[in-house]
C-alpha cells in the first residue's frame, strides 16, 4: 500500500463523502465510502472506456478506518447492520397481496443502504438478504400471485455471489423467474472497478461453464468485485431501473448468471 499523509487522506475522505451523497444526500455505507476514497486518491477508474480492466484498491483499509474514526460527523451506514429484533419483511396480512418483484441482496450493508434510500418503496420491491433463505413460503406465494413476477438477485462478482443466485433459483422453483441483477467480471472491467485479490481460490471447473474462460480464471484466482465498489447513485439508479422494469422486460431465458447479456444492468448507459 502507498503511504499517504493524514491531512491528504482526511481531505480525500471528506471529498469522497460528498461524492457518495450526490445527488440529494444519499445514504451510503462505510465500504462504499472506502472505495470512493480510494478513487479520489488514485483515480485509476478514469482510463479510456474502450479498455476493459480492474485494479486492486491502493488505500490500506486500516488507514481508512483510522481516518473515518477522526471524522465522527460523517453520517455513514454500517457495513454490517445490527440484526433486527424480528425478521424484517412483509408481516401479517401483507402476505395476502401480490408482489410483482422481489430483490435478494447478497451484501447486508448494501441491502440496508437500498432501504435507507427508499428503494423498496419507490420500486415496490421487498429487499431481502441471504439470512432470509429459504424464503418464507407465504412470501413466495405472494410473489407467484403477481402476473409476470420476477425475483432479482443482486450479488458481487464472486463465486459466492454466483452460488447465491443458484440457491435462490433452486428454492424459488420452476414457477418463478429468477434473474441475476448482479456483477460479473465483464461488468467490473467495463466500469473499471477496484477488485481486491487474495480471497480464497477455487477451481475454474467449479464455476458455471457458460462463463467465458477468462472470467472463470479471474474468479478462480481470488479476485472479487464488490457491489460496494459501484458508486451509490449509479447503483441505486441501476437497481431501481431493474426492479421497475421487471414487469415490462421480455421473458427471461432459463435463468443462469452465465447467460446474462453482455450489457448487464450495471453497464447500461446513464445520464
Rounded-to-integer distance, Cα 186 and Cα 192, Å: 10
Banded pLDDT at 67 (limits 50, 70, 90): very high
Task: Give the 3-state secondary structure of residue 38.
Answer: helix
Q: Is the pLDDT score of 145 beyond 90?
A: no
pTM: 0.85
Q: Is the pLDDT score of 61 beyond 70?
A: yes
- Looking at 6-15, 45-54, 56-65, 85-94, which range is the least confident one? 85-94
According to the model, what pLDDT value does residue 247 have? 37
Q: Write out pLDDT tens, residues 92-126.
A: 455 556 678 899 999 999 999 999 999 988 888 89
Rounded-to-integer distance, Cα 72 and Cα 68, Å: 7
What domains can you pick out in the chain, each with its CATH number? 6-69 (no CATH), 92-260 (3.40.1360.10)
Compare 155 and 49 and report the one with higher pLDDT: 155
CB atoms within 10 A of CB 32: 28
Q: Is the pLDDT score of 241 beyond 60?
A: yes
Amino acid at each position: 500500500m502507498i503511504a499517504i499523509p493524514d491531512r491528504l487522506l482526511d481531505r480525500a475522505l471528506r471529498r469522497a463523502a460528498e461524492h457518495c451523497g450526490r445527488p440529494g444526500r444519499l445514504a451510503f455505507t462505510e465500504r462504499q465510502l472506502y472505495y470512493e476514497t480510494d478513487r479520489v486518491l488514485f483515480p485509476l477508474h478514469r482510463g479510456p472506456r474502450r479498455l476493459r480492466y480492474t485494479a486492486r484498491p491502493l488505500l490500506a483499509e486500516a488507514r481508512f478506518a483510522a481516518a473515518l474514526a477522526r471524522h465522527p460527523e460523517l453520517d455513514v451506514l454500517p457495513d454490517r447492520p445490527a440484526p433486527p429484533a424480528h425478521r424484517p419483511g412483509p408481516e401479517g396480512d401483507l402476505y395476502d397481496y401480490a408482489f410483482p418483484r422481489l430483490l435478494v441482496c447478497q451484501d447486508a450493508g448494501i441491502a440496508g443502504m437500498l432501504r435507507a434510500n427508499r428503494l423498496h418503496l419507490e420500486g415496490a420491491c421487498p429487499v431481502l438478504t441471504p439470512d432470509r433463505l429459504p424464503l418464507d413460503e407465504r412470501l413466495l406465494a405472494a410473489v407467484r400471485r403477481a402476473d409476470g413476477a420476477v425475483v432479482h438477485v443482486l450479488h458481487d462478482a464472486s463465486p459466492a455471489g454466483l452460488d447465491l443466485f443458484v440457491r435462490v433459483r433452486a428454492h424459488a422453483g420452476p414457477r418463478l423467474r429468477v434473474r441475476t441483477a448482479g456483477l460479473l467480471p465483464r461488468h467490473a472491467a467495463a466500469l473499471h472497478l477496484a477488485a481486491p485479490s487474495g480471497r480464497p481460490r477455487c477451481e475454474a471447473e467449479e464455476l458455471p461453464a457458460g462463463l467465458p474462460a477468462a472470467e472463470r480464471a479471474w474468479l478462480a484466482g481470488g479476485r472479487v468485485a464488490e457491489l460496494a465498489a459501484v458508486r451509490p447513485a449509479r447503483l441505486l439508479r441501476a437497481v431501481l431501473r431493474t426492479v421497475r422494469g421487471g414487469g415490462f422486460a421480455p421473458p427471461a431465458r432459463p435463468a443462469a448468471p452465465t447467460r446474462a447479456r453482455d450489457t448487464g444492468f450495471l453497464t447500461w448507459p446513464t445520464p
